[in-house]
Amino acid sequence: MRIAILSRNPDLYSTRRLVEAGEARGHQVDVIDTLHCYMDITSSKPTVRYNGEVLPKYDAVIPRIGSSITFYGTAVVRQFEMMGTFCVNESIAISRSRDKLRSLQLLSRKGVGLPRTGFASKPDKIQDVIKNVGGAPVVIKLLEGTQGIGVVLAETNKAAESVIEAFMGLRANILVQEFIEEAGGADIRCFVVGGKVVAAMKRQAADGEFRSNLHRGGSAQLVKLTKEERATAINAAKVMGLNVCGVDILQSKNGPVVMEVNSSPGLEGIEKATNKDVAGLVFEFIEKNAKPGATRTRGKG
pLDDT of residue 273: 93
**Domain range holding 24?**
2-95
pLDDT confidence bin for 297, thresholds 50/70/90: very low
pLDDT digits (tens, 9 = 90+) for 5-20: 999 999 999 999 999 9
Q: What is the pLDDT of residues 121-130, one digit of tens each?
A: 766 678 888 8
Number of domains in the chain: 3
SS3 call for 285:
helix
CATH of the domain at 217: 3.30.470.20
Q: pTM (2 decimals)?
A: 0.86
Is the separation of the CB atoms in 200 and 226 below 8 Å?
no
Position 6 in a domain:
yes
160 occurs within a structural domain: yes
Give the C-alpha separation, 202 to 220, whole Å.
5
What are the tens digits of pLDDT across the range 146-172?
A: 555 778 889 898 998 888 888 887 887
Confidence of residue 301 (pLDDT cuts 50, 70, 90): very low
Q: What is the DSSP letter of 181?
A: G
SS3 75: helix
Confidence of residue 209 (pLDDT cuts 50, 70, 90): low
Quick one: average pLDDT of 222-242? Answer: 96
Question: Which pLDDT band, with edges at 50, 70 and 90, does 185 fall under?
Answer: confident
Question: Does 171 share its domain with 264?
Answer: no
Backbone angles phi, psi at 116, to 5 degrees: -60, 130
